[in-house]
Amino acid sequence: VVLVVDFGAQYAQLIARRVREARVYSEIVPSTMPVAEMLAKNPRAIILSGGPSSVYAEGAPTLDRSLFEAGVPVFGMCYGFQLMATTLGGTVDDNGAREYGRTPLHVSKAASTLFEGTPTEQPVWMSHGDACSAAPEGFTVTASTDVVPVAAFENDEKKLYGVQYHPEVMHSTHGQQVLEHFLYRGAGIEPNWTTTNVVEEQIALVREQVGDKRAICGLSGGVDSAVAAALVQKAIGSQLTCVYVDHGLMRKGETEQVEKDFVAATGAKLKVVDAEKRFLDALAGVSDPEQKRKIIGREFIRVFEQAQLEILQEDGPEVAFLVQGTLYPDVVESGGGTGTANIKSHHNVGGLPDDIEFQLVEPLRQLFKDEVRMVGQELGLPEEIVQRQPFPGPGLGIRIVGEVTKERLDLLRDADAIAREELTAAGLDRDIWQCPVVLLADVRSVGVQGDGRTYGHPIVLRPVSSEDAMTADWSRLPYETLAKISTRITNEVADVNRVVLDVTSKPPGTIEWE
């Protein structure tokens, strides 16, 4: 394993992903972890991430010197670079030499371990206030910028390397190459980590964990739960039962996709609960977004628990495990390490007996989203499931502004299907993050169709581009595609006489309308 020591901000996850792109397995550890504990993980190399602090700020994170003396190759980036410099006796000062954004880097020693084979002038992404003015003893300075004399250094004998910039961001054109040089040449690691290893390893682990007991997995129609279920299915076969709650708020074809394609691809035992009526009854008369969300969440848990209860009562070994599609970013963000937690499944909402406890099976805990898609592909899941764009749990229930009814859902399903079809036909699926299609059910406007006046509802298109859904921009879709979607929706969907485009970024607007 390669450890990425997290000094804050959002850099560590990106670095960990880049290391895996170099086919080397990486894990993130907090900078507060004692060095002895880091070394106990037997890392093949350690990378120190950037961070928001100045090394001289009060309370700034530090590192024990022993990290650099353990014989493990270390690569410091930005804050990690400065920390390496100060810890080993170099000089970092706040001399006003700030650099932000794209900066030309002058490589002075092309034969260096990190820079060999890269141009002597290369653009890099900088983001720092303090700057290193003298490298520690025994280090060779390998690059500089117009304002920073020491922008990279290395001590090949001790296997210690550092760069002032951020090689992990794509604006640093040769960043990935430099990172790979560190991993392969500096640390001597063979690039052989792939998602195939993960699948094999996880199948073995799940078999060992579950033994001859049974497990349950809730399917949402999303990528994560589908891949988790497919992997566990491969490990324990018929000991797994999947539960899919059809709340009637899914898009066109999605329930069938789970019922047919998922089962065909995996052979999993699937229990589909048709709860459309129950959800629509509970939502009747409700327009407030938060209230809708609460109702959908509450009903979902009740139906799911009822299904669990039925499975518990079937003959067979003890049902002791609950499969979840937890991903690595969730694990990192909740400060979690390894191991599995015991949860008590929502007994407060009724349904399950108080004393039932499930152990969690989380086979995707090590993986990033794009890796999960690769695993899904490897497990033979269909493209439509593996490449699916994000879709909210409350489904179309929060894409009808106003009360949710069956008629309105059917109308929105038709409009949404047209938008999806045309976006796919135009080859835009990978360019946009997602495209909510929203029905303004309480708004009517006047139109003319054929010879007659219409008084129908508007449909809103909300195509967005995003990296992580935390922020987003509206997608600049080609006019021809928008025109086609608009014409088809107004022609083919009854009661819709207007299509409008949402051109708001996030912030200030959220991606969904409710």
Q: Identify the residue among 149, 393, 402, 447 touching ligand XMP (CB under 6 A).
A: 393
Q: Which of 128, 166, 181, 457 is catalytic?
A: 166
For residue 126, the SS3 value is strand
Question: How far apart are CB 506 and ligand XMP at their closest, in Å?
Answer: 5
Report the C-alpha gap between 363 and 207 in whole angstroms.
11
Q: Identify the residue among 31, 266, 434, 497 touching ligand XMP (CB under 6 A).
A: 434
Question: How far apart are CB 485 and ligand XMP at their closest, in Å?
Answer: 19
Q: Which of 78, 132, 217, 435 is catalytic?
A: 78
| Alpha-carbon Rg for the chain in angstroms | 27
Options 71-79, 100-108, 371-379, 389-397: segment touching ligand XMP (CB under 6 A): 389-397
Options 71-79, 266-274, 373-381, 506-514: segment touching ligand XMP (CB under 6 A): 506-514
Options 188-196, 272-280, 367-375, 505-513: segment touching ligand XMP (CB under 6 A): 505-513
What amino acid is encoded at 294 in this protein?
A: K
Residue 168 annotated in active site = yes
Please provide the distance, in angstroms rounded to a whole number, between the alpha carbons at the two ends of the chain: 42
Q: Identify the residue among 281, 390, 473, 476 touching ligand XMP (CB under 6 A).
A: 390
Q: Which residues are annotated as a binding site for ATP?
A: 220-226
Options 108-116, 141-149, 178-186, 388-396: segment touching ligand XMP (CB under 6 A): 388-396
Residue owning tokens 């949710």 = 404
Nearer Cβ to ligand XMP (150/301): 301
* # binding residues, ligand XMP (CB under 6 A): 10
Taking residues 463 to 502 in sequence order and writing x for each that binds ligand XMP by CB under 6 A, - otherwise, the string is ------x---------------------------------
Residue 166 annotated in active site = yes
Under the binding rule (CB under 6 A), the answer on residue 392 touching ligand XMP is yes
Report the C-alpha gap between 231 and 434 in whole angstroms.
26
Q: Kindly report the CA angle at 393 between 333 and 360, in degrees rounded to 5?
A: 50
Nearer Cβ to ligand XMP (393/402): 393
Number of H helices, E strands in the chain: 15, 24
Site residues (CB under 6 A) for ligand XMP, limited to 275-294 = none
Backbone angles phi, psi at 277, to 5 degrees: -65, -45
Nearer Cβ to ligand XMP (236/417): 417
* DSSP state at residue 135: P
Q: Under a CB-based contact definition with an 8 Å cutoff, are residues 41 and 127 in contact?
A: no
What amino acid is encoded at 328 in this protein?
A: Y
Q: Which of 99, 154, 168, 422 is catalytic?
A: 168
For residue 252, the SS3 value is coil
**Spatial CA neighbour of 109 closest among 82, 73, 139, 137:** 139
Q: Identify the residue among 50, 90, 394, 397 touching ligand XMP (CB under 6 A).
A: 394
Report the C-alpha gap between 202 and 378 in whole angstroms.
13
Nearer Cβ to ligand XMP (141/469): 469
Under the binding rule (CB under 6 A), the answer on residue 326 touching ligand XMP is no
Joined tokens for residue 148: 């920073």
**Residues in contact with 297: Cβ distance below 8 Å, sequence separation at least 6, in sequence order:** 393, 394
CA-CA-CA-CA dihedral for 249, 246, 431, 417, to nearest 10: -60
Q: Which residues make beta-bridge pairs with 125?
A: 102
**Which residues are near ligand XMP by CB under 6 A?**
390, 392-394, 434, 469, 506, 510-512
Catalytically active residues are 78, 166, 168
